[in-house]
Amino acid sequence: MIIDIKKLTKTFIDGDRKLNVLKDINLQIEKGSIVTIKGPSGSGKSTLLSIIGTLDSADSGDILINGKNIRDELNIDQLRNKNIGFVFQFHNLISELTLEENVCLPKMIANELIDKNEINELFEYFNLENRMNSFPNDLSGGEKQRVAVMRAIINNPSVIIADEPTGNLDQDNAQKITSLFQKLNTEKNLTIIIATHDESVFNIGHKKYHLVDGFLKIS
């Protein structure tokens, strides 16, 4: 088991109101699986993914990544760098860096040596080998999102967390990204968690969940 979530709760305070966004969430994710989560806007999907991705903290409950409780982790930034890759609705690439630099950023932050052959192969795998020195603004939306996926997988993370990865793409590009996730899962045995509104993306999950009223229910 790569991720084990136990009795996770999260509450937001909005003035006098107390919003229980996540209630007693339990979720086990096996290595090499795709987990998809669906729910209405504001249901807490992004909050759940942020907590799993260590960008936010839960009020109670535990999250174990590769058997280690993230509460006990002293260097949470390093854990995120090594174990978690993010893909957001917007590509969120750094516009001042070339595509190659954007993709290599997690490795540079980790102070790891960059294997030029590995980068070339990755760009070839994503059919962007001719765009390595381009800047994000020179790319189409679908290409930008592919680069964002490349950046997410460059450090061989334990899990890819994708929050509405096709939300900002047209149908054609959304289909390409969905296929890409399936291909990465099959060929590279990557573990992927996707929060989505899109039914076609939702259906690629080996395990599918609905997040309703703060509870996570298997579909």
Q: State the residues that interact with other proteins by CB under 8 A.
A: 46-47, 50, 53, 55-56, 77-82, 86, 88-90, 92, 94-97, 101, 105-106, 108-110, 135, 137, 151, 163-164, 167
Q: What is the CA radius of gyration of the chain?
A: 17
Q: Which is nearer to other proteins, 61 or 167 (CB)?
A: 167
Q: Which is nearer to other proteins, 35 or 103 (CB)?
A: 103
Question: In the bound complex, what is the minimum distance in angstroms from residue 186's beta carbon to other proteins?
Answer: 25
Q: Which is nearer to other proteins, 28 or 89 (CB)?
A: 89
Question: In the bound complex, what is the minimum distance in angstroms from residue 101's beta carbon to other proteins?
Answer: 7
CA angle 87, 53, 86 (to 5 degrees): 15
CA angle 162, 52, 87 (to 5 degrees): 20
- Measured distance CA(149)–CA(85) in Å, rounded: 8
Residues 190 and 153: beta-carbon distance below 8 Å: yes
Q: Which is nearer to other proteins, 78 or 200 (CB)?
A: 78
- Measured distance CA(94)–CA(136) in Å, rounded: 7
Question: In the bound complex, what is the minimum distance in angstroms from residue 100's beta carbon to other proteins?
Answer: 11
